[in-house]
Amino acid sequence: MLTMLVCCAAAVSEAPAPVTSAVGSSVALEPYGLATRPWVTEVEAPPPFWTRFDSRFAWPVDVMVGVLYGIIFMICVYTVRHYWFTFNRLFGRQRNPYIAVDETDWPEVTVLIPCHNEEAVISTILDALLRVDYPASRLRITPVNDRSTDATREIIDHYAVRFPTQILPFHRSDGPPGKAAALKDAFTLVESDLALIFDADYVPGRDLIKRLVAPLLDPEVGAVMGRVVPLNTPRNLLTRLLDMERAGGYQVDQQARMNLDLIPQYGGTVGGVRLSALNSVGGWRPSSLTEDTDLTCRLVAGGWKVAYSNRYECYEEVPETWPVRIRQIKRWARGHTDAALRYVPLLLISRHLRWRERLDGTLLMGIYLMSPLLIIGWLIAIALFYLGEHALHGLVAILAVASYNTLGNFAAFFEIAAAVRLDGHRHRIRLLPLVLVGFLVSLFSTGRAAVSQLRPRKRRRDIVWHKTERFRENGLEAWRNGQIEETTNERDDESTNRGADERMSTSAPFSPRQSTA
């Protein structure tokens, strides 16, 4: 639609301009350089309808023009940001400062798994954590069961009986609901200074614990984040598109922030925190919708660093239906907007951050607010063009917004294409045009959610568990039917050199790198 409007505007701009004669009449110049015809006159266009009554009514149009130019400026800023990150990832120096840490005196670490009605997936992550390559005497696994109403507690207790020295469950039956509130209560029982957090649907690799602990050996690092990769990529078109989006966000966006020494975002899962850093910034905020973004802002404003490890992956289950996806991104948008309102001023005045870190943090916090701004920009540009008072402004605005759709906004798609290339799956680029569908869905969904979060009555509502629906098949049935075979845990314990039992997963995780577009 915008392209058609631009074409119409261009046609209008090529019409001959009226020329006023000595006697005051207006004549039109013939196109293609033909001579004027004084007997052909044209009446000058009447003034806009609002100025026929009172010139004071023209000020709203001037305000609309000013707002539109402000929106276009922000669009240009984010466009430059996308290209900067992508070119840095493709051609810049890559920072992986903790990749060489292979052997050290590994510290004690606690792995927490917040869960609420996770009977379909909880056994898989517990099996995977029991197989990790980390000293068993220094690893504690704590499933945080927040009043589940399904078989989650039964499954957790079964594992706790079989592995009493490794799995220490925490069952929560009261207090405010929500992931942040559950973590806040569970952290009171954590004895180690380092804690890793995984959502229940994730499947960590064998060496992932060491790779996430390594950055936390740096005393300046308060949190660490690993890369998230979908494990159900081949399910349908939506999961394939989400796999590409995840690749752009982690392979390019997060790693570029690490390269440029900016602010990689702690994602709330597949990551870890230092308890001393967490306590120094006030701990978990139970009312937070997105505890990860909330904690990232407070840590960096307090002088702590956030590290990102791109080469070490953990596998998650992404939404397989559009309604589930829409609910997920709306929750992210609400939580992100709430964090932006709270912490952008704190980031701007923090004495621990350099100017570019303050700018990057502010742009990171404002990413979901760009959705309603972009929609407003479209509406203002079209309205100004058809009102006719600022024909040139309308033309420039529509061209700018249309260019954003054809070039600027596709800077984000450029990130995705670069990530797919870096992952070695160039054939997936064939799906890139379809990412536009996901973009439009996200645009209106996140725009509505971000605006709703600006209303005080929405921000004061009760916090509940916002859990993404799980689609893994036969997880609970396999566990109940005893299809999880027991085997010997071959891990070596550095202090006692003893073995531990190991349970095989009901559905072995596969690498999405093997799937096709």
Convert the pLDDT of each residue in 115-160 to its tens digit: 988 888 899 999 999 999 999 999 999 999 988 888 899 999 999 9
pLDDT at 513: 38
**How sure is the predictor about 219, in pLDDT bands with cuts at 50, 70 and 90?**
very high
For 117: left if phi > 0, alpha if psi spans -120 to 50, otherwise beta; the answer is left
Instruction: State pLDDT tens for residues 265-307.
Output: 998 888 899 999 999 999 998 878 788 899 999 999 999 999 9
CA atoms within 13 A on the CB side of 373: 16
For residue 326, the tally of other CB atoms under 10 A from its CB is 18
Rounded to an integer, the average pLDDT of 257-262 is 94
pLDDT at 383: 82
**How sure is the predictor about 357, in pLDDT bands with cuts at 50, 70 and 90?**
very high
Least confident of 66-80, 142-156, 208-222, 226-240: 66-80
Degrees, nearest 5: CA angle 249-427-437: 55
Q: Is residue 381 predicted with pLDDT exceeding 90? A: no
Distance CA 206, CA 196 (A): 15
3-state secondary structure of 37: coil
Helix 322-349 and helix 435-453, axial crossing angle in degrees, nearest 10: 60
Element of type H or E holding 222: strand 221-230
Q: Is residue 71 predicted with pLDDT exceeding 60? A: yes
The larger pLDDT score, comparing residue 511 to residue 180, is at 180
Which pTM does this prediction carry? 0.76
CB 42 within 8 A of CB 32: no
Element of type H or E holding 7: helix 2-13
Q: Is residue 493 predicted with pLDDT exceeding 90? A: no
The DSSP call for residue 359 is H
Helix and strand numbers, DSSP H then E, in the chain: 18, 12
Q: Is residue 312 predicted with pLDDT exceeding 50? A: yes
